[in-house]
Structure 1
Amino acid sequence: MDALIPRPRGALPRVCAVALAAMTAGSVVCLSPDRLFGWVAVVILILTLGPLLHGLCLAAEEVLNHSNTRGQRLLSRVLPACGFGGKTLLAAGLAGLLLYLAGPPLPHTEQCWKLLVLTSTLYALFKSLGVLGPSEVEVSDICEGRKMNAAHGLAWSFYLGYLRLVLPRLEDSIRAFCVTRKAFRGRGSRRLLILIPLNANISHKLEEEDDNIHFFDNLPNNEIDRAGIRGRVYKHSVYRVLDEHGKDHECVVEYATPLLTLYSMSQESSAGFGEPERRQQVLLFYRTLQEILERSLECRNRYKLILVNDEHEDDPHLLSKAILRHLQQQEREEFCITPPPQQELFNPFALMSSSPPSAPPMNGDCHLPEPMSREPTLMFSMEGPQPLKEAVEDTDHY
């Protein structure tokens, strides 16, 4: 399952770009070292003036059509949002200064300015038409970095609106349930098992997905005042899962309800959300929810996320096997499989007695051997105080 979960994107593209730029600059220096700084200045101006011209087109749209509805200020919000950032303006200014000091690289100055203006204008045109638009990887990187995916919002909503409220009360609900019903014989099942299937197509009844899973009962309801609703009811269902030997295991298990939203979005054409995007969002939902719960003190050791790869599986007992596998893993983690260490027996009165081992106890008292504690303790001597030894002069005089 770890191979399915996408990892956050790293800085490898930046490293490759820096290495490629260094190799290109070294090649140019070796082949034609004359007017190198002039060419560098021209290239930087082209790369910065193009985005600035495209930013002017975006700023015209924002100021003329969206200044009233979006409520953005020109200098503080519109210009930076359209690409007029400090880094771009600084790079363009330094490139212009470098071109002024190094001189134009082309023989005629007019040719240099024609190249600058024409290239920058064509860049703004192609950028507006979408020819130079960001790739899917760039869009995904931006959305993940800025937490703009649907999976991030659903994961935070699931945590703040449900898990953070019910998980701290789960232990008390299970304890109250065990008073009236004989269940939860294993310690590993006293957590909320949250199922996250990759295809996001979940059923409202687990027994319809797997006949080795049977509904047992509901835990006591938790009533919480929430969003103006007095005594809003939150409940969990207890299921019995049969293993290969026919032995049942009780556990509190349910699907992650935000997956219903992801699946419904993939079925609506107006949402623009296909099956590949849905699968990617499910994996991001799992990773985001796991990161959120790992940092939550209220939910620690009260949940277990189970990612179920059910896209191309025809096993009718896939769900029960996944649950049992995680239950067995929890039992191995929580129970000590090795016997406890044997305590050493030590009789503290054996050292104080001068009688041989075969002699009867002194004064007729029988002292049973006591286990020697592993913890450090204070030991007091039963002997009387002794005088200090006198100093003995042992220095040789020659």
Structure 2
Amino acid sequence: MQCLRDQDALIPQPRGDVPKVCAAALAAITIGGIMVLSPERLFGWVAMVTLILTLGPLMHGVCLMAEEILHHANTRYQGRALWSQVLTACGLGGKTLLVAGLAVLLLYLGGDPLPHKGQSWKLLFLASGLYALLKSLGVLGPSDVEVSDICEGRKMNVAHGLAWSFYLGYLRLVLPRLEDSITAFQATHQASCPYWGRGSRKLLILIPLNANISHKLEDEDDNIHFYDNLPNNEIDRAGVRGRVYKHSVYRVVDEHGKAHECVVEYATPLLTLYKMSQESSAGFGEAMRRQQVLLFYRTLQEILDHSLECRNRFKLILLNDEHVDDPHFLSKAILRHLEQQEKEEFCLTPPPHQETAHPCADTSIAQPNGLPINRDWHRPEPMSREPTLMFSLEQPLPLREPVENTDHYQGRT
């Protein structure tokens, strides 16, 4: 079990812009080399290469469009706005067409870079046709990194769907009611459960990397004992009247024999990931499962951090499966998180009582004109006193003229 400070090292971060920076640097180097070798044909070479790189995807998009129109017009596009949807889906968007048009204009203005007339157009059509063939055969297909980047950027991973389902279908419903449930539970268990720590008032959600979940925590660690269930929450959901949502309270025993009560459970969507990895038809291996668990953790953390209903009512605990030989790794992980929250979180003291009356009202005497004089004017007022407006009944005085009181010629003879 890794320490809490090493937990962030396991979570994959979103991919950055390093490939774009490297590509821009590589393009600058190659263009600079062409400028040195043959500066008179620079624009022609750039235009021809750009046309090759854009006409190839355009011709491949035409091949994809033929399949979509012939076999998927009704099932995938419902026959509505067919051309606009198919063109965009097949990569025949305005951006590619614009770049290709600009490259044609640049080639026309810059001239043919090849010595013999017509060789450039032959090279363009041949390269474009071969690109479409190799692309269709998968030789020029996207790499695994590109596919992963696309899926993460467009939220298309299995982990994203499971995280949102777990939040919308469960956590957003039960976490706002958790504090009231714990308060009601404490009221009925004061004798056996007199005090709960601040960290124990949150829902601890366990996320093991191997996605292998036990239905009873005491089966994995004999230092964990089931204590009782919190009061049930009944919510009308999806046509079911009074659907029951419940949480279990466990007692975790530390190395000194002291029991700590907390509400803890596994993230149930991990059962889906584990079962998918056991089915060959799902195409979901162990390496992919581990990656999806990490993405599930990151996505769920981001969702809950931005949720006003769930903020400060949960704690995600990522369990590393490298040290499964420790029979008490689960209880140690839970206790470590409870101890961390006890040290890092604190309750603000209640604000002091705000006085509504002036504290020195009874120590004042009256002037001949009827205005009170406060004998304790020098006594500082409490900081908690509410701000008040003070008015003066005296006539306003004119501003005094500036008086020069500095002798600049002092000491001169």
Shorter-chain TM-score tier: 0.7 to 0.9
| Percent sequence identity over aligned pairs | 76
Q: Which residue pairs with 1:65 in the alignment? A: 71
- Report the 3-state secondary structure (helix = DSSP H, G, I; strand = E; otherwise coil) of the residue aligned with 1:296: coil
Aligned partner of 2:29 in structure 1 is 23
Give the alignment partner of residue 382 of structure 2, picking from 373, 384, 389: 373
Report whether the alignment pairs 1:122 with 2:130: yes
> Cα distance 1:232–1:378, how it changes in 2: closer, same or farther (>3 A)?
closer
Gaps in structure 2 of 5+ consecutive residues: 1-6, 350-358, 364-378, 405-413
Distance of 1:141 and 1:167 partners within structure 2 = 32
Structure-1 residue corresponding to 2:303: 292
**TM-score, normalization: structure 1?**
0.86
Question: What is the alpha-carbon distance in structure 1 between the residues aligned to residue 41 and residue 245 of structure 2?
Answer: 73
Rounded to whole Å, the distance in 1 between the matches of 2:268 and 2:260 is 23
Match of 1:133 in 2: 141
Q: Work out whether residues 240 and 249 of structure 1, in 8 Å CA contact, stay in contact via their aligned partners in 2.
A: yes
| More moved, 245-254 vs 28-37 | 28-37
Aligned residue pairs total: 367
Matches within 5 A, 1:146-225: 146-182=154-190, 183=193, 184-225=195-236
1:323 is matched with which residue?
334
1:372: Cα distance to partner? 7.2
In the alignment, which residue of structure 2 is the partner of 1:357?
none
How far apart are 1:134 and its partner, in Å? 0.2
Residue 302 of structure 1: how far off its partner (Å): 0.8
Output the CA distance in 1 between the equivalents of 2:337 and 2:215: 21
Please, which runs of 5 or more residues in structure 1 have no aligned partner? 339-347, 353-369, 380-384
Mapped partners of 1:387, 1:273: distance in 2: 86
**How many Å separate the matches in 2 of 1:92 and 1:328?**
62
Residue number among 56, 60, 68 corresponding to 1:54 in the alignment: 60
Match of 1:33 in 2: 39
* Structure 2 CA distance for aligned equivalents of residues 267 and 256 of structure 1: 18
Per-residue deviation at 1:287? Answer: 0.4
| TM-score (norm: length of structure 2) | 0.83
Q: Measured at CA, do residues 392 and 191 of structure 1 come closer, stay the same or move farther in structure 2, by a change above 3 Å?
A: closer
- Residues 199 and 311 of structure 1 are in contact (CA less than 8 Å); yes or no, is this contact kept in structure 2? no
CA distance in 2, matches of 1:279, 1:173: 34
Structure 1 residues 262 and 378, CA, compared in 2 at 3 Å: closer, same or farther? closer
Q: Is the 8 A contact 1:196 1:306 kept in 2?
A: yes
Shift of residue 387, structure 1, vs aligned partner:
12
Cα separation, partners in 2 of 1:378 and 1:169, compared to 1, 3 Å: closer
**Residue 332 of structure 1 pairs with residue 343 of structure 2:** yes
Q: 1:38 to 1:230 in 2, by over 3 A?
A: same
1:388 CA displacement: 11
**Alignment-derived partner of residue 275 in structure 2:** 264
Q: Which moved more, 1:328-337 or 1:10-19?
A: 328-337
Moved more, 327-336 or 370-379: 370-379
Partner secondary structure for residue 92 of structure 2: coil
Partner of 1:43: 49
CA distance in 2, matches of 1:9, 1:251: 36
- Structure 1 runs of 4+ aligned residues shifted over 4 Å read 376-379, 385-389
The one-character-per-residue Cα deviations of 1:220-245 (angstroms, maximum 9, x if unpaired) are 11111100001100000000000110
RMSD: 2.9
Report the Cα offset of residue 330 of structure 1: 1.1
Which of 142, 152, 160 aligns to 2:150? It is: 142
